[in-house]
Amino acid sequence: MSHPIDLSPEEEAAGHFSGAEAPTRRRSVQSHGLRLVVSEWGDEAAPPLLLAHGGFDFSRTFDRFAPLLARGGFRVVSWDQRGHGDSDHAPLYSWDADVRDLLAVMDSIGAAPIPVIGHSKGGSILTHLIQACPHRVSHFVNIDGIPFQKTPPDVQDHERTKLLARELSGWLDHRAAAATKVRRPGSLDELARRRGRMNPRLSLDWLRYLVRAGARKDPGGWRWKIDPALRPGGFGPWRANWTLGRLASLPVPMLAILAREEEPMGWETTEADVAPFLPARSRAVSFETGHFIHIEKPAEVAALVLEHLS
Amino acid sequence: MSVVHLQHAKVSLALHPLSEGDGRPLLLLHGLGERSPKALAGPVAGWPGPVHALDFTGHGESSPSGSGGYTAEVLMGDVDTALAHLGPCTLLGRGLGAYVAVLIAGARPTQVRGALLCDGIGLAGGGPVPGSPRVIFADSGGNASPDPFALAELSQDVRPPDYATAFIRQANELSGLDRPVSVCCVERPAWLEAVVKEPGVVEANVEEALRGYAALA
């Protein structure tokens, strides 16, 4: 990995985490003029599957989880969503744009139906994609990406309905500042700790590893690569029950993996919430973890996923 | 009078001054696929203050996204950018611009001194509930105006009635106006049927509504 600024030995060391592997291949896909960076793990000739990350994450947050699926015999393909990771920052962001970008990545893999796995917002945009293009998907794994009562914290302008004056003016104030906004710099450890506020159950070593993959160092310090125009939360006309109510329509078997421990980014949907809406040949399983189930329990989640796909 | 270019995140917005005058500005918001008028016509010509017209993102002389991502909420941010430049305004929105006027009237209640909702393209949006899920495609946006993605996405955004009325309630609560919104249009999509029943929303013709808002302190 090349950086314009030399790294200290500690910063170099932060780029290693037990069990984590950088993508085997990196490439890019054009989605209507926007360059999206694609990460792949495993044998290029193996059957492909697609991994979709959550809001404010990036494909390399799968550096620990994806290699386990690759060792299970898959070519694992993920991408940095617009504005996230190494992909282009876009003039505009929306749910519909994310779904269109996702289809551009799928088109770069092939037309045959493939398994898809999504975490958080990634699970939710995949739910939309499967309903819009059911012929493109063979199996679905949704990792804490089913909205229920609580409005998801990592989606923009889509799932939320809560309207508070403060929320509206806060959103507009953020947009007003976005033209000139840059990510706040800090030391590698400061960025790791900042992220730890939203990911309190993840180890500092893992968060430091994420800084190495998701931030860059310039003369001012380390800064996350994510577009500063993006902001967690938001509001919009969409209702969680529109997504939930249509889960039952999915024509592919779904494995829903849910978290039992509450944390800031969690969606707090339980097995009982999902049970009435499960499509045929599907099941819901929960873990004693927070929202990042595949990071807290990578081996267990990978084993479940591989069993679901077999 | 020359066009003013304002920056809204990565988009350059064109704000067209149409006439000078004393007092609070009137800001015109066009419909879907339209652009700002070149000159004043009809009842707005009698507005005592200056009149401006804003090209929404991907319309007229404002820059396009090219890769889509259009939402009514983003256009609300366009209007907020114009309000930050002009100060408090009365708004007159056509079609899509009328819906956006409702959003910003609720979100910046002290900056919007009355909103007139008029017939125009894009008043209904994608209806009150989502239809069958689809992936929205358009011919490559490039630099076309209007941006084909704007036409495709902003004609399909869902507009639940209770979402629109939540903004009206914000306007009622926080604007200090008795009648923050005037409905001057004939077409009544579901969101507007609900809006027109809210307190603080009156049905009026454009001339009456403009006179009322011009008289506000």
Residues of A contacting chain B (CB within 8 angstroms): 31-34, 82, 89-94, 96-97, 99-100, 103, 128-129, 131-133, 157, 161, 163, 165, 168-169, 171-172, 175-176, 178-179, 229, 234-239, 242, 246
B4-8 and B11-19 strand pairing: antiparallel
Query: Which residues of chain B are within 8 Å of residue A236 when distances are taken between CB atoms?
Result: 71, 73
What's the CA gap between B120 and B202, in Å, rounded?
A: 19
Q: Please report the pLDDT score of residue A153 as a whole number.
A: 65
Range of weakest confidence among A63-67, A221-225, A266-270, B14-18 = A266-270
> Which of B9, B129, B163 lies nearest to residue A179, judging by beta carbons?
B9
The residue with greater pLDDT, A186 or A241, is A186
Name the closest residue on chain B to residue A102, using Cα atoms.
B135
Range of weakest confidence among A117-131, A194-208, A235-249, B124-138 = A235-249
Is the Cβ pair A94, B71 closer than 8 Å? yes
Mutate to test the interface with A, among B10, B56, B67 (most CBs of A within 10 A): B67
Range of weakest confidence among A77-91, A269-283, B26-40, B136-150 = B136-150
Query: Which residues of chain A are within 8 Å of residue B102 when distances are taken between CB atoms?
Result: none
Q: Please report the pLDDT score of residue A265 as a whole number.
A: 86
Mutate to test the interface with B, among A34, A81, A94 (most CBs of B within 10 A): A94
What's the CA gap between A203 and A224, in Å, rounded?
A: 18
DSSP string, A273-296: HHGGGPPTT-EEEEESS-S-HHHH
**Contact present, B49 and B74 (Cβ < 8 Å):** no
Task: Report the 10 Å Cβ neighbour count for A67.
Answer: 21
Q: Please report the pLDDT score of residue A155 as a whole number.
A: 58
Two tokens, residue B173? 């609560």
Query: Which residues of chain B are within 8 Å of residue A161 when distances are taken between CB atoms?
Result: 163, 166
**What is the count of residue pairs from A and B with beta carbons less than 8 Å apart?**
129
Is the Cβ pair B107, A242 closer than 8 Å? no
Q: What is the mean pLDDT of chain A?
A: 93
Two tokens, residue A82? 């617009």
What's the CA gap between A305 and A308, in Å, rounded?
A: 5
In the block, residue with structure tokens 């739910």: A127
Interface ipTM: 0.95
pLDDT along chain B (217 residues), means of 10: 95 98 97 96 95 98 95 97 98 98 97 98 96 88 86 96 94 95 98 97 98 94
Query: Which residues of chain B are within 8 Å of residue A242 when distances are taken between CB atoms?
Result: 129-130
Question: Residue B49's domain is classified under what CATH number?
Answer: 3.40.50.1820
Please give, rounded to a whole number of angstroms, the shortest distance from the CA of A7 to a CA of chain B.
32
Is the Cβ pair A34, B67 closer than 8 Å? yes
Mutate to test the interface with A, among B56, B73, B74 (most CBs of A within 10 A): B73
Amino acid letter, residue B42? G
What's the CA gap between A297 and A289, in Å, rounded?
A: 8
> Which of B68, B142, B160 lies nearest to residue A100, judging by beta carbons?
B68
Homologous superfamily (CATH) for A9-153+237-309 = Alpha/Beta hydrolase fold, catalytic domain (3.40.50.1820)
Domain count for chain B? 1
Domain region containing B50 = 4-214
Q: What percent of chain A has pLDDT over 90?
A: 83
Q: Please report the pLDDT score of residue B91 as a whole number.
A: 98
Q: Please report the pLDDT score of residue A150 as a whole number.
A: 63
Sheet (strand A114-119) strand order: A25-31, A34-41, A75-79, A48-52, A114-119, A137-143, A254-259, A283-287
DSSP string, A137-157: EEEEEEES----SSPPTT--S
Query: Which residues of chain B are within 8 Å of residue A89 when distances are taken between CB atoms?
Result: 10
pLDDT at A232 > cutoff 90: no
pTM of the model: 0.95
pLDDT tens digits, one per residue of A132-168: 999 999 999 999 999 886 666 665 554 444 457 888 9
pLDDT tens digits, one per residue of A11-61: 999 999 999 999 999 999 999 999 999 999 999 999 999 999 999 999 999
Q: Please report the pLDDT score of residue A179 as a whole number.
A: 86
What's the CA gap between B8 and B117, in Å, rounded?
A: 24
End-to-end CA distance of chain A: 35
Amino acid letter, residue A83? G
B/e letters for A127-148, b = 16+ CB within 10 Å, e = fewer, are: bbbbbbbeebbebbbbbbbbbb
